[in-house]
Structure 1
Amino acid sequence: MIEKEPDVHTPATLVRGGTSKCWLFHQVHVPAERGELEELLVAAYGATDPVELDGVGGATPTTSKAAVVSASAEPGTDIDYLFAQVGVGTGKVEWSSNCGNCATGVALYAVAKGLVPITGDRTLVRMRNRNTGAQLEGVVDTAGGLVHDFGVQTVPGTRAGGVAVGLTFLDAAGRTTGSLLPTGQTAQELRVDSGDPVLVSMVDAGAPVVLVDAGSVALTGSETVDQMLTHVPWLRAVRHAAAPLMGLTEPGEAPGDAVPKVGLVGKPVPYTTPLGETIAAEDYDVSVRMLSMNTPHPAIGLTSAVAVAAAGLLKGSVAFRAAGGPTGDWLRIGTPAGVVPVRCSDLRNGLPGRVTVQRAARLLADARIYVPEPSRPQAA
């Protein structure tokens, strides 16, 4: 009889949440210790390889994500999840942020796997992100009292339909730094390296974000993804200059590339999406172009969208200026993929108690991922 070494495999579920793909792992199947979990994810994703060929990673920041899910012991919370941004080609995992698109997938997963019981045509999933402490609610379409494999809800960035999930961030302001405005200013000039000062708003809502006034650097905020590639180096420099001012790093400490998130904000102008959709200036309120790690985001991360919407409430911020003033409950964000409406509600002392985005999710596969031992030599 032919013998082979024992299988080293990990059960996982691949989900699409919005415009991201994310492997979800139940906590019982993976190590609880962060270092061991990172080793497993790097090996499973093939994350030392820039194309992640020998692994399940998607080779882009929006498709090289993971989350570890468990039932929550916290009163009033159904699900805890730990988000992992698996670096592409770096062999490292960023643990400092959250991902709203993955949270959308977590909500559907929780219902589909029986972690949260169905409650009729819509099922509420109350979630806590273990990275940041953020509290979220996902309202999953369970029409007919059923979990649906497919749906017709779409989001900008793909024509594919999915199961409708309304995602709400609760009391999102200051979750990381303790304040919506970590520096106390709605807008300020930021000196980057030895260049001219850049006008920015530094905001903590959903995630810490530094928003650059596009007009102040002779840009529009409506650049294409390809055009944004040329601006990645100096936007990273903006991120690194802002990080210590926002209390995210100590002066002189090397910053990471997950937070603060960074991008351009500009006035609405007509543009065409990569899928050929024509967007008129009157269709939205602000143009936004964000980075995802060190790559232009093809749409917008939901945590960034929350920060932009919160900034839009603040008179004098770069988002408020670009929109030409207040826009009411809804801020329509023009992204490379199309318009993402975000609603701020339950305002208390100018801070939104609820920030909601309509999303879609779909479970793509249940799998066993065969994971190389981290110490095992790999063939060239």
Structure 2
Amino acid sequence: MRIPGTLVRGGTSKCWLFGHEHVPPTLDGIERLLVDAYGATDPVHLDGIGGATPTTSKAAVVRPCAEAGIDVEYLFGQVGIGVGRVEWGSNCGNCATAIALWAVTRGLVPITGDLTRVVLRNTNTGDVLEAAVDTTGGVVHEFGTQTVPGTRSGGVAVALTFLDPAGRSTGSLLPTGSTVDDLPVGVGGETVRVSMLDAGAPVVLIDAAAAGRTGVEPLAALRADAGWLRAVRHAAAPRMGLLRPGQAPDDAVPKAGLVGAPVPYVSTTGDHIAATDYDISVRMLSMNDPHPAIGLTSAVAIATANLLEGSVVRTVSTATADPPLSQPSQLRIGTPAGVVQVTCTDIDASGPHRVTVRRAARILCEAEILVPEPALPTPA
């Protein structure tokens, strides 16, 4: 089968995008298609289009939305690496950035001057996002100069805003009812000081200092700690209502990571980052590997946690946590790739109603992907 697809860089991820009309109508059919197209059972994705890393093995199926106020909706999939399955339990902000540019390029959303607004809904989680795509001069741009931490390559500027992000997956900003918990992990009696919240995505954020870490671990050290971080994730999942009784945990949600006080470090692109350049150190796990920067859904959760008295983020953050409600709250997150700034606005007692991160996107190629016939369901 020949399946049309578009490879787009969004922020620090690469995502294959598929029009809904070109894929099977069922979730099982789409999963079989992606597993074969990506070569998912191969840990290096050699015989497929997958990137063999969590940030480059992503996919989305996109369709126009007839509902008033929503332009496009998309199903996001995190395609397995060395396993023949796709995780459907989460959203991806970097891929949403890519989809916004793709939608304007495809004419799904008409250009409206120098900035074109695209409203997207993620069907996995119900997240609603608003993207402002740079269309300076009233045209779509193939290249741009906007950069993001994690790459020195420019792209088309896209400001991505998560609308009312709290509780989209679990129904509550604080699924356990607490801002901070001592979470039992494993069978050895270890407890870990964490904040578990649902904003942008469900996350479990670990107090790095209390766990004997720093929050500025190099990627190699974080990779060595991946098994422990997965254990924390799996312990948090049932506490957050993300698992049904008897269901095995997966590695999509909750997102798991370390947070610590800002200290000097050198980014993966060689930049020297001073402690005064940012407000909170963060090291996140993406599936089973260290995230080279930070997922946008995780950034939303961390910025929201900074507004919560007693959270493991608020406790060590140097950002102003109590701005007047009429003023934006800004948080500078120190990631392995550099500093990512997140802005919360329209804040009230329920949390921020708008959380914005500035990103960049670029369409890399249009392709016709050759997929073996057995990947598609047999017609009835």
Per the normalisation by structure 2, the TM-score is 0.95
How many Å separate the matches in 2 of 1:325 and 1:346? 18
How many Å separate the matches in 1 of 2:350 and 2:21? 41
Of residues 93, 105, 109, the one that matches 1:100 is: 93
Of residues 115, 133, 140, the one that matches 1:140 is: 133
1:208-227 matches, cutoff 5 A: 208-227=202-221
1:325 CA drift (Å): 6.3
Q: Deviations over 1:215-267 (max 9, x none)?
A: 01111000011110111001100001000000001344310100001000000
* Runs of 4+ with >6 A deviation: none
RMSD: 1.1
Q: Residue 241 of structure 2 aligns with which residue?
A: 247
Where 2:297 maps in the other structure, the secondary structure is: helix
1:341-360 matches, cutoff 5 A: 341-360=341-360
Q: Residue 326 of structure 2 aligns with which residue?
A: none
How many Å separate the matches in 2 of 1:233 and 1:133? 30
Q: Residue 24 of structure 2 aligns with which residue?
A: 31
Q: Confirm or deny that 1:15 pairs with 2:35.
A: no
Say whether the 8 Å CA contact 2:32–2:375 is kept in structure 1: no
1:326 CA drift (Å): 3.6
Q: Deviations over 1:312-364 (max 9, x none)?
A: 00010000012046444101000000000000100122410000000000000
Q: Residue 149 of structure 1 aligns with which residue?
A: 142
Per the normalisation by structure 1, the TM-score is 0.95
Say whether the 8 Å CA contact 1:211–1:262 is kept in structure 2: yes
How many Å separate the matches in 2 of 1:118 and 1:131? 27
Give 1:306's aligned amino acid: V
Give 2:27's aligned amino acid: R
1:17-166 matches, cutoff 5 A: 17-166=10-159
How many Å separate the matches in 1 of 2:5 and 2:260? 40
How many Å separate the matches in 2 of 1:31 and 1:356? 34
Give 1:302's aligned amino acid: L
Say whether the 8 Å CA contact 1:313–1:326 is kept in structure 2: no
Give 2:224's aligned amino acid: T
How many Å separate the matches in 2 of 1:311 and 1:17? 25
Where 1:332 maps in the other structure, the secondary structure is: strand
The sequence identity of aligned pairs, in percent, is 65
Of residues 281, 284, 302, the one that matches 2:278 is: 284
Instruction: Specify every segment of 5 or more residues in structure 1 that has no aligned partner in the other structure, as ranges.
Output: 1-7
Instruction: Specify every segment of 5 or more residues in structure 2 that has no aligned partner in the other structure, as ranges.
Output: 324-328
Give 1:203's aligned amino acid: L
1:75 CA drift (Å): 1.2
Where 1:374 maps in the other structure, the secondary structure is: helix
